Structure 1
Amino acid sequence: MSTDRTSAADGFSYALTRTLNAPVARVWQAWTTPEQYTRWAHAVPGSVEMDARPGGAWKATMLTPDGAAFPLTGSYVEVAEPGHLVLGMDVPGRADQVTMSLDLTAQGPDRTEIVLRQTCDTAEERDMAEQGSGMLLDGLEGHLAEGTRA
């Protein structure tokens, strides 16, 4: 996995890149299907709802490693199946959504490069978001590996 970080006048951003052992269509389904997302994203079963189309809503209650639950809500800003998503995330006390982009690129028939990008207001927010995104990618990678075992 590689990580790029920047600190600029317009925010603090990161990009996480990882190559997954699964075709693009399978990675897309894992990211946009509530049942699959629940399995790998540390979400409370039954809490995930997804309307994966521009303007569609999503929500999930996530579990932290220490067992705390916190609800997340947002919308799909851009959806270009099977390779590009921009998710808006609602942040309490903030008028506009924070966005995270996801790009999937085929690396042959059974491998996918995934790149997650986000820009935050502070270095601390970036560090927390980057850590959470890394955990998501770890869970996704584990979920996809389970599917390849016979």
Structure 2
Amino acid sequence: MGVEQAPVRNRYQEVVTRLYHSSNYDFVGVALRENQSPHLTRWIHVLGNTNERWRRIVLRRGIGLAGLVVQTGQPFLNNEILQLDYRNQFYCPIARLEQLTNVVAVPITKAPFNQVVGVLLAGYREHKKEMNDQDIQKLSQYLH
């Protein structure tokens, strides 16, 4: 990402930091679409990670939980994410790497056309509580 992307990256780093420290999620991360072709979507900032393998994940549009959120622009949650394998359209590599059991993801949009440019994801490693619409609302509030 170029120099012009630094303020954007810093803004989402702040979102991740605030959400992680003000909630009981075990993991919070943001993935953003790059401006330059081929417009890959990568995780740019995470907290609560157990390793650094998240840095190598490239989200594919329409594939996996985060890729589907980017493609459809719709939030998604799953309370049994580790039950899915790589053949399932909702398979989530970052959940597998971080051993997340429950996840919620919301799209990050850019004005003026509400173009989806990324995803904000949060999750638990143990079934502390079921994810629900309140979690979707909570994550969405951090993006406004």
Normalised to the residue count of structure 2, the TM-score between the two structures is: 0.32
**Greater RCO (Cα-Cα under 8 Å, separation 6 or more):** 1
- When Rg is computed on C-alpha atoms for both structures, the one with the higher figure is 1
More helix by share: 2
From the two aligned structures, give the one with the greater strand fraction: 1
TM-score normalised per structure 1: 0.31
